[in-house]
Amino acid sequence: MRAIIQHNSKEFKIDLSKPLDISIPISASKNNVNAWYLDDPKFEPVKLEDWVGSVKFGAPVNFNNIWFNPHSHGTHTECIGHITKEFHSVNKYLKQFFFTAEVISVAGEKYMKDTVISKKQIELLLKDNTPEALVIRTMPNTNDKIKRQYSNTNWTYITEEAMVFIREKGIKHLLIDLPSVDREHDGGTLLAHKAFWDFDGNQRLDCTITEFIYVSNKVKDGSYLLNLQIASFENDATPSKPILYKVLK
């Protein structure tokens, strides 16, 4: 079904029957994607005396408790509250959910013992485009990303200089297929997070970072309309479901 979306005084034609889901689900499995040294998510039926919340064990409904961490166990969207002493909720500050978006594919550059995404790479790939959201797919791109165990792997990260460029471009929402935009072991400096949110300047409370996405190779680099769906958690981060729609001519 084709629809016309009006956004920022512009009209975008999209096909609602062809969503491109770039989220990773959370499941109670050792194959669930994971980072930050935590155990797997747990989905367990409620137990009240001799009653077990499972149809399999005689209950009329399935009634599970779920244990997970949004930063560790799947696609999540976070706000500046992730790095502030003051409490800031992503549910409070993210009040619009459709954004123009650009998908780019980047192979990290070697830097000492690390692999990084540099300003030069972002600048070259974005060219003159000024989307509201930037979706970064790291290369190589294999579907094992949906179950990869990232703890102690020293993943690719975004340099502070590149993140300042992204901020100065006016990009308000950044999405990436890694556990973090920062180095795994960085001594708590969080240079990329702080640069994106302008932590020491005019803090960008309505801007978000979404991590642990997975962009299939079927999704081509280019311009899209992003629907950034979140769960209504009053927390610095929440599980999310970003959906891309190809903009039709």
Domain that residue 190 falls in: 2-24+74-246
Structure tokens, 54: 């499972």
Q: Is the pLDDT of residue 1 over 90?
A: no
**How many structural domains does the chain have?**
1
> Which domain CATH number covers 12?
3.50.30.50
* 110 within a domain of the structure (yes/no): yes
* pLDDT given for residue 5 in this prediction: 87
Q: How far apart are CA 106 and CA 177, in angstroms?
A: 11
Q: How far apart are CA 26 and CA 109, in angstroms?
A: 30
Nearest alpha-carbon partner for 231 in 100, 63, 86, 68: 68
* pLDDT given for residue 49 in this prediction: 93
- Which residues, 6 or more positions from 233, have their beta carbon under 8 angstroms from its beta carbon? 70, 89, 90, 91, 239
Q: Residues 36, 237: contact at Cβ < 8 Å?
A: no
* pLDDT given for residue 209 in this prediction: 99
Q: Is the pLDDT of residue 199 over 90?
A: yes
* 214 within a domain of the structure (yes/no): yes
Confidence of residue 180 (pLDDT cuts 50, 70, 90): very high
Confidence of residue 249 (pLDDT cuts 50, 70, 90): confident
What tens digit of pLDDT does each residue of 202-242 get?
999 999 999 999 999 999 999 999 999 999 999 999 999 99
Q: Is the pLDDT of residue 2 over 90?
A: no
Q: How far apart are CA 120 and CA 117, in angstroms?
A: 8
Strand partners, 103: 135, 222
* 66 within a domain of the structure (yes/no): no
- pTM beyond 0.85: the answer is yes
* 227 within a domain of the structure (yes/no): yes
Per-residue burial over 3-16, b = 16 or more CB atoms within 10 Å of its CB, e = otherwise: eeeeeeeeebebee
Confidence of residue 3 (pLDDT cuts 50, 70, 90): confident
The mean pLDDT of the chain is 97
Average pLDDT over residues 18-40: 97
Q: Residues 4, 10: contact at Cβ < 8 Å?
A: no
Q: Measuring CA to CA, how many Å separate 237 from each of 5, 58, 62, 103, 165?
A: 27, 36, 27, 23, 24
* 31 within a domain of the structure (yes/no): no
Confidence of residue 189 (pLDDT cuts 50, 70, 90): very high
* 130 within a domain of the structure (yes/no): yes
Count CB atoms within 10 A of the CB of residue 210. Answer: 26
> Rounded to 5 degrees, what are φ and ψ at 106?
-135, 130
* 126 within a domain of the structure (yes/no): yes
Strand partners, 66: 43
H helices within the chain, ranges in order? 90-93, 119-126, 160-168, 191-197
* 83 within a domain of the structure (yes/no): yes
What tens digit of pLDDT does each residue of 78-96 get?
999 999 999 999 999 999 9
